[in-house]
Amino acid sequence: RKPGKVVKAAVEKAVDKVTELVNPPIPGAPASEPPSLTEPTEPRGPLPPKPDQTGPETVSPTGTPTGAPQLSQGQQGEFLTTAGGTRLYDTDHSLKAGERGPTLLQDHHLREKIMHFDHERIPERVVHARGYGAHGVFVGYGTAANVCKAGFLGDGVETPVFVRFSTVLGSRGSADTVRDTRGFATKFYTQEGNFDLVGNNIPVFFIQDGIKFPDVIHAGKPHPDREIPQAQSAHDTFWDFVSTHTEATHHVLWNMSDRGIPRSYRTMEGFGVHTFRLVNADGETALAKFHWKPKLGVHSLVWEEAQLLAGVDPDFHRRDLADAIESGAHPQWELGLQIMPDSPQQTFEGIDLLDPTKIVPEELAPVQPVGLLTLNRNPLNYFAETEQVAFHLGNLVPGIDVTDDPLFQARLFSYLDTQLTRLAGPNFNQIPINRPHAPVNDMFRDGFHQHAVHAGVAPYRPNTLDGGNPFVAKAGDRPFVEVARPLPKAVKVRSSPASFADHFTQPRLFWQSLTPVEKDHVVSAFTFELGKCYEQAIKERELLVLANVDATLCAEVAKGLGLPVPEKARLKKVTPSPALSQLGQTWPSDGRMIGIVVDPADLDGVRTVRETVLAGGMVPLLIAPTGGPLGDSGLVAQRTFLTARSVEFDALLVAGDSPDARVTLMIQEAFRHAKAIGAWGTGRAAVEAAGCTGPGVVLDDDASKVLADVTTLLGAHRVWERFPPAIA
């Protein structure tokens, strides 16, 4: 045998071993071929998708075909073909007049390949461009029946869903962890048609009337001259707008709070924001607000961590969601309703329910659980599903109707209109991810990208030629019927009701409901963002706004900016809503990332800890000086001192001492970000040498006790006691 072959075989064997250790086989998953170092020489059939991945459903839960293709038409077939299906024998060389000659115009494959590539990108969403999606299932509890007749809320009814999370301001390639509002859009493929709940992780909005949407977005997007900064609100135009447009104050307060930098999509609340009108089987109506409550609790990053992550792992939230689903840690949210009477005034406890800058505190109208959402499958293809999904608030089902909130009303126009350019035509509902699972019979015809081959000759009503089909549904056939509500006697005006003028009571309510630690973070966020503005007048004007929210908030931000504190404003007394704080509760530690700096001298101890972490539903990541297998222990380093950074982990365990400065940095960052730290063996010396002792740092000889204490600390997410807040 030639020596080269022996070396190659040995390398292949080693690669296979490491691959198996890093990616242990998933029970029940179809066996996949081991990766090879050389290019395959024989054609083979399509590869199956990974067990956590599927495309849009091809049949509804009751067996109705959804029209989605059975298996994606992909590049996994045996032979490469043209788009017309003709087999090709070469795709690496253009057709030329001789090897050194010019390329011939007749080369159809060259022209088709480049033509298609030139048009692979479509316009990104004008807002919410950066997003990530997942498939799942929603199961109704049946508890909403007294207020809402929607079938999907019925007891035990299972409805397939697709959820897309997003940031608002950044471009499609921007970082996940920037300070911003997060989109939380859910498409329920119900048996009565699609219902889209297009919400955010913040329950209020910047504007009360949709006509101002271009203004707030132009202000938040990068400056038009230099197109900077990307995916940020920390710049002059944003603060110029919100400091002069005070109805934005409530939303701004939420953005500057920890809600603006979620730890994960899995640990965010979601809100439908607007008030909806619900109808029950007896035709009675109620007003309601939708809430998503995460089973893992509401958790956030700290600001420095968010900034580091934007560079270290710009895909942090995407990766987190996909990994969690792949590993079987399926994230869940309970859907809840706040129910308010449908009074002629459409107010509740003095709160105008048509004003999207106002919340209804949960203490006044408790959130009543009506169903459970589980995200359990990753998309098969990002573009086909996550990019092409199109949400629209007008996708309503019997039992759920709109209200006259002027923001809601403008949105009803925008979401259809925007798809015409983004998805190039009016037939975007025929894209597999958007196809309803209920039968569709719409008489819409032709247009760009028409997929259907419609039969019949009479796409109009009334007709006799197609037997009068399709017929309109009668009351017993469960049609969607707009609620017939008397309109107030009115004149045409361009103005808002007087109740919309109160811009400060609820921001104050939010501020006063936060704990001192959370208030500290709000002060820092305002100080940071305004500190990035160049125009002095903008900072001073925002301080005037803050003076109307709270004197301490205003004074602390002014101190940070080095500016005089404006005169005290007359402030309303508010009753805090403890439900608005995200601290003070204990949550499951499922799916948390635990970094473990290994001790090469005590790999048995590391193995035990790793197994306990896994058994606890958390994810252990072993960090060692170099990659690859750790001795003969059967363990493999998933991170090295070069590739690991503290921000990836929710808690850090240090099993071994190491003179490496990157380990010291890892410990110090985890400490600074109020994370739980545990150490045993020689690792204790490493933590002490980094100067990181105090609350939330567990040092003990018994590794299992260290892990147990760290897991308990994770229940509260962070160890805030480490840094007493500056604000009482």
Catalytic residues: 128, 200
Q: Kindly identify the residues of this chain, within the stretch 379-408, that bind ligand HDD according to CB under 6 A.
A: 389-391, 407
Question: Cβ distance 448 to 430 under 8 Å?
Answer: no
**Which of 198-206, 372-380, 508-516, 567-575 is the region at the interface with ligand HDD (rule: CB under 6 A)?**
198-206
Q: How far is the CB of 360 from ligand HDD (least distance, A)?
A: 15
Q: How far is the CB of 133 from ligand HDD (least distance, A)?
A: 8
Q: Is 259 in the site for ligand HDD (CB under 6 A)?
A: no
254 counts as binding ligand HDD under rule CB under 6 A: no
Nearer to ligand HDD, 389 or 609 (CB): 389
- 671 phi and psi, to 5 degrees? -65, -45
Count Cα neighbours of 293 within 13 Å in the Cβ-side half-sphere. 19
State in angstroms the smallest separation of the CB of 1 from ligand HDD: 57
Closest CB 510 distance from ligand HDD, rounded Å: 17
Residue owning tokens 């899995």: 266
Nearer to ligand HDD, 145 or 410 (CB): 410
Instruction: Pick from 56, 140, 210, 656 the residue near ligand HDD by CB under 6 A.
Output: 210
Q: By CB under 6 A, is residue 424 in contact with ligand HDD? A: no
In angstroms, give the least distance from the CB of 652 to ligand HDD: 34
User: Residue 35 in 3-state DSSP?
Assistant: coil
- Residue 507: CB partners within 8 Å, gap ≥ 6? 249, 250, 252, 253, 549
Contact indicator for 648, 312 with CB cutoff of 8 Å: yes
What's the CA gap between 537 and 566, in Å, rounded? 13
* 415 lies in the binding site for ligand HDD (CB under 6 A): yes
Binding test (CB under 6 A) with ligand HDD, winner from 234, 364, 410, 458: 410
Instruction: Rank residues 410 and 621 by Cβ distance to ligand HDD and give the closer one.
Output: 410
Q: DSSP class of residue 473?
A: P
Q: Binding ligand HDD by CB under 6 A: which of 245, 251, 317, 411?
A: 411
**Does 414 sit near ligand HDD (CB under 6 A)?**
yes
Nearer to ligand HDD, 186 or 246 (CB): 186
CA distance 307 to 311: 7
175 vs 533, beta carbon nearer ligand HDD: 175
Question: In this chain, which residue has its C-beta nearest to ligand HDD?
Answer: 183
CB of 321 to ligand HDD, least distance (A): 14
Give the closest residue to 659 by CA, choosing from 635, 638, 690.
690
Give the C-alpha distances (Å, rounded to integers) separating 688 from 511, 596, 684: 37, 17, 6
The total of other beta-carbon atoms located within 10 Å of residue 218's CB is 12
Nearer to ligand HDD (CB atom), residue 231 or residue 273: 273
Select from 526, 565, 555, 470 the least CA-distant residue to 234.
Answer: 526
Secondary structure (H, E, C), 54-115: ECCCCECCCCCECCCCCCCCCCCCCCCECCCCCECCCCCCCCECCCCCCECCCCHHHHHHHH
- Residue 250 touching ligand HDD (CB under 6 A): no
Residue pair 357/504 in contact (Cβ under 8 Å)? The answer is no
Closest CA to 207 of 408, 407, 493: 407
One of 200, 249, 255, 711 touching ligand HDD (CB under 6 A) = 200
**How far is Cα of residue 152 from the mean position of the Cα atoms in its chain?**
23
- Distance of closest approach, residue 615 Cβ to ligand HDD, in angstroms: 36
Q: Report the distance separating Cα 56 and Cα 639, nearest Å.
A: 34
**Interface with ligand HDD includes 507 (CB under 6 A)?**
no
Give me 216's structure tokens. Answer: 């707030």
Among candidate residues 324, 393, 412, the one with its CA nearest the CA of residue 619: 324
Of 136, 183, 591, 696, the one binding ligand HDD by CB under 6 A: 183
Cα torsion angle, 557, 561, 567, 569, sign: negative
H or E segment and range at residue 167: strand 158-167
Q: Kind of pairing, strands 697-699 and 351-352?
A: unpaired
Pick the closer one to ligand HDD by CB: 382 or 415. Answer: 415
Task: Verify binding: residue 213, ligand HDD, rule CB under 6 A.
Answer: yes
Helix (H) or strand (E) holding 216: helix 213-220
Range list of β-strands (E), 567-634: 593-597, 619-624, 628-630
Nearest to 136 by CA among 315, 265, 276: 265
Q: Which is nearer to ligand HDD, 421 or 633 (CB)?
A: 421
Least distance CB 282 / ligand HDD (angstroms) = 30
Size of the site for ligand HDD (CB under 6 A): 26
Measured from the CB atom, the residue of 185 and 438 that comes closer to ligand HDD is 185
Please choose, out of 31-39, 55-63, 323-331, 414-422, the segment that lies near ligand HDD by the rule CB under 6 A: 414-422
- Minimal distance in Å, beta carbon 201 to ligand HDD? 9
Biggest distance spanned by C-alpha atoms of the chain: 96
State which residue, 198 or 219, has the beta carbon closest to ligand HDD: 198
Q: Does 356 bind ligand HDD (CB under 6 A)?
A: yes
Span near ligand HDD by CB under 6 A; candidates 2-10, 193-201, 276-284, 559-567: 193-201
Three-class SS of 681-711: CCHHHHHHHCCCCCCCEEECCCHHHHHHHHH
Question: Least CB distance from residue 185 to ligand HDD, whole Å?
Answer: 4
How far out from the chain centre does Cα 277 lie?
26
- Among positions 256, 268, 273, 622, the unique one binding ligand HDD when judged by CB under 6 A: 273
Q: How far is the CB of 455 from ligand HDD (least distance, A)?
A: 31
Q: Which of 132, 205, 239, 316 binds ligand HDD (CB under 6 A)?
A: 205
3-state helix, strand, coil in the chain (%, to 5): 30, 15, 50
Which CB, 172 or 319, lies closer to ligand HDD? 172
Q: Which of 60, 72, 159, 166 binds ligand HDD (CB under 6 A)?
A: 166
Q: And the tokens for 440?
A: 């569709």
Nearer to ligand HDD, 183 or 591 (CB): 183
Per DSSP (E only), the strands in 212-355 are 270-271, 276-279, 285-294, 332-341, 347-348, 351-352
Shortest Å, Cβ 684 to ligand HDD: 47
Query: What is the pattern of x (binds ligand HDD, CB under 6 A) and - over residues 122-141?
Result: ---xxxx--x----------
In the complex, the smallest distance separating the C-beta of residue 379 from ligand HDD, rounded to whole angstroms, is 13
The H or E element spanning position 133 is: strand 131-140
Cβ proximity to ligand HDD, 134 vs 647, nearer residue: 134
The footprint of ligand HDD (CB under 6 A) covers 125-128, 131, 164, 166, 183, 185, 198-200, 205, 210, 213, 273, 356, 389-391, 407, 410-411, 414-415, 418
